[in-house]
């Protein structure tokens, strides 16, 4: 079950900085930084619940752009 939440102001800039850093430091294909993303997005920043993160990973395994889906979900942007 997915819930919709409101996004505080300034969140898009923080999201862009996060994924820019992840893109520069994460290497080894899209699967390699998933553990780091889960630790940072679920535990540290609490942007996603563990269930939302696992759901996003399951969906994104069939898509060529894992980070884009997660960013769209976090920013509540239309598909």
More confident residue, 6 or 79: 6
Cβ distance 7 to 75 under 8 Å? yes
Reported confidence tier of residue 61, pLDDT bands at 50, 70, 90: confident
Greater pLDDT, 68 or 43: 43
Residue ranges of domains in the chain: 33-79
Question: What would the pLDDT profile of 5-56 be if each residue is shown by its tens digit?
Answer: 665 556 788 888 888 888 888 776 666 788 888 888 899 988 889 999 988 8
Q: Cα(63)–Cα(47) distance, rounded to whole angstroms?
A: 21
pLDDT exceeds cutoff 80 at 75: no
What pLDDT is stored for residue 12 in this prediction?
Answer: 83
């Amino acid at each position: 079950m997915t819930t919709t939440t409101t996004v505080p102001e300034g969140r898009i800039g923080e999201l862009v900085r996060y994924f820019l850093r992840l893109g520069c430091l994460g290497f080894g294909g899209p699967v390699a930084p998933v553990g780091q993303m889960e630790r940072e997005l679920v535990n540290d920043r609490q942007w996603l619940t563990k269930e939302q993160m696992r759901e996003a990973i399951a969906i994104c395994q069939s898509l060529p752009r894992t980070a884009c889906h997660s960013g769209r979900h976090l920013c509540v942007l239309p598909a």
